[in-house]
Amino acid sequence: MRTFDKIGIMDFTSHTTRLATSLQQMRFPPPALPLTGEQGESEDVAATAGLASLRSPESMKIAATDLIRSGLKFYFKQFEDSLASGELICSAGTTGEAKVTVKEPTLVAHFEPLKTPKAPTCKVEVLGSPRKHATTKDSQWVRDRKEIEVLMAEDSNEALLVDENTQDVYEGVSSNFFALDRKRGTLLTAPIGSVLQGTIQKVIINVCQAQNIPVEYTFPNLNHIQSWEGAFISSTSRLVLPIDKLVLADGSVKEFTESPTLELIRREVLKECQRHVENLLLAQDVKLDQTVLDSLG
């Protein structure tokens, strides 16, 4: 999740619902059995009882709201004190907004400065293969993807997960992927159920519907990359980030120039996100010095 104007989180309800549905798909067997997380396997009785409320979207939202509201207040107070004392030195791209990570099954929230992309476009690489449990948002993937991320070049923003046999592009290790077919003017993205549906991805689909931009849930295929007008990745921190360089598995590079259609999508997605912010704090709960924040670049 990410904050907007420091007091709200965009589409907060969707985030908490996804946490609950992810827990519904996971099973925690008795201690004597190996933990696989596979749906349908037997589950420890204590785990079932303990997780019952968090598997309810309504109860999850209540619990997460209380947790994150308290956490944000504490986080921004610490952030403000550290800035004022000079103890905190922020890197470029830090805006004062917060990145919020909620972990299950014990409900824990982590808060850190939200780092936004330094440039309006990015470089991505084909590095990984599609993940096994794509529709479940779990912490195991956070650990698994580190093996891919260490292989990325320093100037790359993302690694793309591609089926090496078909050349279908599924997603990024921390983003959704879209390609724009030049001839048909159609936005292509992986079929529902094959990747984790991102919160920003849903906003993009809504924007495209409003702007009469056709969307197909069809894998963008690297064999057809020459027919793409452009491509971009999306996530809560990046929103819509166009790709200017895509490094293929053989080391060759496909470069993209600016696309008016993708720029329209990027601009409208930002507006749509701002319209769907759910405030968790009051303005007086956050008193960051805007002058100091502006100086961070």
pLDDT confidence of 215, banded at 50, 70, 90? very high
289 has a pLDDT exceeding 90: no
> Which one is predicted more confidently, 215 or 132?
215
Is residue 174 within 8 Å of 157, Cβ to Cβ? no
Q: Measured between alpha carbons, how far apart are the two ends of the chain, in Å? A: 22
- The class of domain 122-258 in CATH terms is alpha beta
Higher pLDDT, 148 or 262: 262
- Are 98 and 5 in contact, with CB atoms under 8 Å apart? no
Q: Where are the domains of the chain?
A: 3-111, 122-258
Q: Identify residue 166 by its one-letter amino acid code.
A: T
The C-alpha atoms of residue 116 and residue 80 are separated, in whole angstroms, by 19
Most confident of 9-13, 122-126, 281-285, 292-296: 122-126
Give residue 147's pLDDT: 83
The pLDDT of residue 92 is 47
Average pLDDT over residues 109-130: 89
For 111: left if phi > 0, alpha if psi spans -120 to 50, otherwise beta; the answer is beta
45-60 confidence digits (pLDDT tens): 888 888 899 999 999 9
- Tabulate helix, strand, coil % of the chain (nearest 5): 35, 25, 40
Q: Return d(Cα 254, Cα 92) in angstroms, integer.
A: 28
pLDDT cut 70: percent of the chain above it: 86
Peptide bond into 105 cis (omega under 30): yes
Is 156:165 a contact under the CB 8 Å cutoff? Answer: no
Distance between CA atoms of 1 and 3, rounded to whole angstroms?
Answer: 7
Q: Is the pTM of this model over 0.75?
A: yes
Beta strands in 32-172 (DSSP E): 94-103, 108-115, 122-128, 158-162, 169-172
105 contacts: CB under 8 Å, gap ≥ 6: 23, 28, 47, 50, 51, 54
Contact 3, 274 (CB under 8 A): no
CA distance 3 to 88: 20
Place of tokens 């983003």: 175
pLDDT of the residue at 104: 65
pLDDT for the residue 129: 86
